[in-house]
Protein backbone atom coordinates (compact mmCIF):
# COMPACT_ATOMS: atom_id res chain seq x y z
CA UNK A 1 0.00 0.00 0.00
CA UNK A 2 1.22 3.44 -0.83
CA UNK A 3 1.61 5.94 1.97
CA UNK A 4 1.49 9.67 1.57
CA UNK A 5 3.46 12.20 3.53
CA UNK A 6 2.13 15.63 4.25
CA UNK A 7 4.29 18.44 2.98
CA UNK A 8 5.71 20.85 5.54
CA UNK A 9 3.75 24.03 5.85
CA UNK A 10 5.30 27.00 4.12
CA UNK A 11 6.50 29.75 6.45
CA UNK A 12 3.95 32.44 7.12
CA UNK A 13 4.62 35.72 5.34
CA UNK A 14 5.63 38.55 7.63
CA UNK A 15 3.20 41.40 8.19
CA UNK A 16 4.91 44.78 7.96
CA UNK A 17 3.72 48.12 9.27
CA UNK A 18 1.67 50.32 6.95
CA UNK A 19 1.12 53.99 7.88
CA UNK A 20 -2.53 54.90 8.29
CA UNK A 21 -3.59 58.53 8.44
CA UNK A 22 -6.23 59.61 10.93
CA UNK A 23 -8.23 62.82 11.31
CA UNK A 24 -7.53 65.44 13.98
CA UNK A 25 -9.70 64.68 16.99
CA UNK A 26 -10.47 68.21 18.20
CA UNK A 27 -12.43 69.31 15.10
CA UNK A 28 -14.26 65.98 15.12
CA UNK A 29 -15.11 66.44 18.79
CA UNK A 30 -16.51 69.90 18.05
CA UNK A 31 -18.49 68.41 15.19
CA UNK A 32 -19.92 65.84 17.61
CA UNK A 33 -20.97 68.65 19.96
CA UNK A 34 -22.68 70.36 17.05
CA UNK A 35 -24.56 67.15 16.25
CA UNK A 36 -25.69 66.83 19.84
CA UNK A 37 -26.78 70.48 19.75
CA UNK A 38 -28.92 69.68 16.72
CA UNK A 39 -30.34 66.70 18.60
CA UNK A 40 -31.10 68.97 21.56
CA UNK A 41 -32.94 71.36 19.26
CA UNK A 42 -34.94 68.43 17.92
CA UNK A 43 -35.76 67.32 21.46
CA UNK A 44 -36.95 70.84 22.28
CA UNK A 45 -39.23 70.80 19.25
CA UNK A 46 -40.60 67.37 20.16
CA UNK A 47 -41.24 68.51 23.74
CA UNK A 48 -43.07 71.53 22.36
CA UNK A 49 -45.21 69.31 20.14
CA UNK A 50 -43.80 70.99 17.06
CA UNK A 51 -43.89 69.09 13.82
CA UNK A 52 -40.77 67.47 12.32
CA UNK A 53 -38.85 67.73 15.60
CA UNK A 54 -37.93 64.03 15.36
CA UNK A 55 -36.15 64.73 12.07
CA UNK A 56 -33.60 66.73 14.03
CA UNK A 57 -33.41 64.56 17.13
CA UNK A 58 -32.58 61.08 15.83
CA UNK A 59 -30.01 62.02 13.13
CA UNK A 60 -28.22 64.36 15.54
CA UNK A 61 -27.91 61.68 18.22
CA UNK A 62 -26.74 59.01 15.77
CA UNK A 63 -24.20 61.28 14.07
CA UNK A 64 -22.81 62.53 17.40
CA UNK A 65 -22.53 59.03 18.81
CA UNK A 66 -20.80 57.81 15.63
CA UNK A 67 -18.21 60.56 15.84
CA UNK A 68 -17.56 60.14 19.58
CA UNK A 69 -17.08 56.38 19.15
CA UNK A 70 -14.21 57.01 16.73
CA UNK A 71 -12.20 59.29 19.03
CA UNK A 72 -9.03 58.03 20.70
CA UNK A 73 -5.97 59.53 22.37
CA UNK A 74 -2.32 58.78 21.58
CA UNK A 75 0.57 59.86 23.77
CA UNK A 76 4.01 60.71 22.32
CA UNK A 77 5.85 57.53 21.33
CA UNK A 78 2.61 55.58 21.17
CA UNK A 79 0.90 54.02 18.18
CA UNK A 80 -2.51 52.56 17.41
CA UNK A 81 -2.94 49.53 15.17
CA UNK A 82 -6.19 49.71 13.25
CA UNK A 83 -8.01 46.54 12.27
CA UNK A 84 -11.20 45.98 10.31
CA UNK A 85 -12.98 42.66 10.88
CA UNK A 86 -9.72 40.79 11.47
CA UNK A 87 -7.79 42.54 8.70
CA UNK A 88 -4.85 44.81 9.51
CA UNK A 89 -5.54 48.26 8.03
CA UNK A 90 -2.53 50.29 9.19
CA UNK A 91 -0.80 51.99 12.09
CA UNK A 92 -1.41 55.53 13.29
CA UNK A 93 1.56 57.21 15.04
CA UNK A 94 0.06 60.71 15.34
CA UNK A 95 0.09 61.97 18.94
CA UNK A 96 -2.88 63.73 20.46
CA UNK A 97 -6.64 63.37 20.10
CA UNK A 98 -7.33 61.50 16.87
CA UNK A 99 -10.32 60.14 14.99
CA UNK A 100 -10.76 57.07 12.82
CA UNK A 101 -13.81 55.09 11.84
CA UNK A 102 -15.52 53.47 14.85
CA UNK A 103 -15.62 50.29 12.80
CA UNK A 104 -11.85 50.02 13.22
CA UNK A 105 -10.58 48.05 16.19
CA UNK A 106 -7.82 50.14 17.76
CA UNK A 107 -4.97 48.51 19.66
CA UNK A 108 -2.51 50.86 21.33
CA UNK A 109 1.18 49.98 21.51
CA UNK A 110 4.05 51.75 23.25
CA UNK A 111 7.05 52.74 21.13
CA UNK A 112 9.14 53.83 24.12
CA UNK A 113 12.50 52.29 25.02
CA UNK A 114 12.21 49.33 27.37
CA UNK A 115 14.66 47.36 29.48
CA UNK A 116 14.99 43.62 29.83
CA UNK A 117 17.38 42.27 32.43
CA UNK A 118 18.44 38.75 31.57
CA UNK A 119 18.69 36.61 34.71
CA UNK A 120 22.10 35.42 35.81
CA UNK A 121 22.74 32.30 33.76
CA UNK A 122 25.15 29.50 34.56
CA UNK A 123 26.76 28.42 31.27
CA UNK A 124 30.05 27.11 29.92
CA UNK A 125 32.49 29.39 28.13
CA UNK A 126 34.40 28.42 24.98
CA UNK A 127 36.81 26.27 27.03
CA UNK A 128 34.05 24.50 28.92
CA UNK A 129 34.53 26.35 32.20
CA UNK A 130 31.28 27.07 34.09
CA UNK A 131 30.66 30.79 34.41
CA UNK A 132 27.87 33.11 35.49
CA UNK A 133 26.74 35.79 33.08
CA UNK A 134 23.87 38.26 32.74
CA UNK A 135 23.09 41.30 30.61
CA UNK A 136 20.81 44.31 30.32
CA UNK A 137 19.17 45.01 26.96
CA UNK A 138 17.48 48.24 25.90
CA UNK A 139 14.97 47.71 23.11
CA UNK A 140 11.98 49.31 21.43
CA UNK A 141 9.26 48.33 18.99
CA UNK A 142 10.15 49.41 15.47
CA UNK A 143 7.55 47.62 13.33
CA UNK A 144 4.22 47.53 15.17
CA UNK A 145 2.58 45.10 12.76
CA UNK A 146 5.34 42.52 13.16
CA UNK A 147 5.32 42.89 16.94
CA UNK A 148 1.60 42.17 17.17
CA UNK A 149 0.91 39.82 14.27
CA UNK A 150 4.13 37.87 13.65
CA UNK A 151 4.73 36.61 17.20
CA UNK A 152 2.29 35.57 19.89
CA UNK A 153 3.67 37.75 22.73
CA UNK A 154 6.49 40.03 21.66
CA UNK A 155 7.53 40.95 25.22
CA UNK A 156 7.89 37.28 26.17
CA UNK A 157 9.60 36.66 22.83
CA UNK A 158 12.22 39.32 23.63
CA UNK A 159 12.85 37.82 27.07
CA UNK A 160 13.34 34.28 25.76
CA UNK A 161 15.51 35.33 22.82
CA UNK A 162 17.68 37.53 25.06
CA UNK A 163 18.47 34.55 27.28
CA UNK A 164 19.16 32.33 24.26
CA UNK A 165 21.50 34.90 22.73
CA UNK A 166 23.37 35.32 26.01
CA UNK A 167 23.89 31.57 26.33
CA UNK A 168 25.18 31.36 22.77
CA UNK A 169 27.47 34.37 23.25
CA UNK A 170 29.11 32.88 26.35
CA UNK A 171 30.00 29.71 24.45
CA UNK A 172 31.80 31.67 21.72
CA UNK A 173 34.50 33.27 23.92
CA UNK A 174 36.87 32.15 26.68
CA UNK A 175 36.39 33.81 30.05
CA UNK A 176 39.82 35.45 30.37
CA UNK A 177 43.35 35.59 28.94
CA UNK A 178 44.38 32.50 30.84
CA UNK A 179 41.99 30.53 28.70
CA UNK A 180 43.07 32.11 25.38
CA UNK A 181 46.06 30.67 23.58
CA UNK A 182 48.73 33.31 23.01
CA UNK A 183 46.68 36.00 24.67
CA UNK A 184 45.38 37.34 21.34
CA UNK A 185 41.88 35.93 21.45
CA UNK A 186 39.00 38.18 22.46
CA UNK A 187 37.75 37.21 25.90
CA UNK A 188 34.56 37.88 27.80
CA UNK A 189 36.45 39.67 30.54
CA UNK A 190 38.96 41.62 28.48
CA UNK A 191 36.95 42.48 25.38
CA UNK A 192 33.75 43.87 26.84
CA UNK A 193 33.21 46.37 24.03
CA UNK A 194 33.62 43.77 21.30
CA UNK A 195 31.56 41.22 23.21
CA UNK A 196 28.78 43.75 23.82
CA UNK A 197 28.71 44.61 20.11
CA UNK A 198 28.53 40.91 19.23
CA UNK A 199 25.67 40.50 21.69
CA UNK A 200 23.84 43.49 20.22
CA UNK A 201 24.23 42.12 16.68
CA UNK A 202 22.94 38.68 17.64
CA UNK A 203 20.03 40.15 19.55
CA UNK A 204 19.09 42.31 16.56
CA UNK A 205 19.07 39.26 14.30
CA UNK A 206 16.87 37.37 16.76
CA UNK A 207 14.51 40.29 17.45
CA UNK A 208 13.95 41.13 13.78
CA UNK A 209 11.13 38.58 13.55
CA UNK A 210 9.20 40.53 16.19
CA UNK A 211 9.79 43.97 14.66
CA UNK A 212 11.98 44.99 17.61
CA UNK A 213 15.20 47.00 17.45
CA UNK A 214 18.05 46.82 19.96
CA UNK A 215 19.16 50.19 21.30
CA UNK A 216 21.89 48.93 23.64
CA UNK A 217 23.14 45.68 25.17
CA UNK A 218 25.69 45.37 27.96
CA UNK A 219 26.94 42.61 30.23
CA UNK A 220 25.99 43.35 33.84
CA UNK A 221 27.51 40.34 35.58
CA UNK A 222 30.42 38.07 34.66
CA UNK A 223 32.19 35.66 36.98
CA UNK A 224 33.37 32.11 37.34
CA UNK A 225 30.80 29.75 38.82
CA UNK A 226 31.22 29.37 42.62
CA UNK A 227 32.43 25.78 42.37
CA UNK A 228 35.60 26.81 40.50
CA UNK A 229 35.94 30.48 41.49
CA UNK A 230 38.36 29.76 44.36
CA UNK A 231 40.50 27.44 42.24
CA UNK A 232 40.76 29.91 39.35
Length of the chain, in residues: 232
pLDDT at 202: 95
- Residue 97: name the closest of 29, 155, 147, 46 by CA: 29
When pLDDT is averaged across residues 86-99 and rounded to a whole number, the result is 96
CB distance 22 to 94 below 8 Å: yes
pTM confidence score: 0.81
Strand partners, 99: 23, 71
pLDDT at position 232, please?
A: 56
pLDDT class of 176 with cuts at 50, 70, 90 = confident
Enumerate residues 6+ apart whose C-beta is below 8 A from 8: none
Mean pLDDT of 137-153: 96
Return the pLDDT at 10: 44
State the number of CA atoms in the 13 A half-sphere of 217 facing the CB: 24
| Residue 99 near residue 70, CB atoms below 8 Å | yes
pLDDT band at 116, cuts 50/70/90? very high
Amino acid sequence: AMTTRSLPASPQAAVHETPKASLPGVPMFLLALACFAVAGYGLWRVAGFQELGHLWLLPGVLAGAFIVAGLYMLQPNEAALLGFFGRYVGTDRSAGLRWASPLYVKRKLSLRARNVNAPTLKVNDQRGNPIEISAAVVWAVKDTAQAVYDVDDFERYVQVQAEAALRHLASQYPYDEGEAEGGTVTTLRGGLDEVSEALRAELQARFAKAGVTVLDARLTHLAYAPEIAQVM
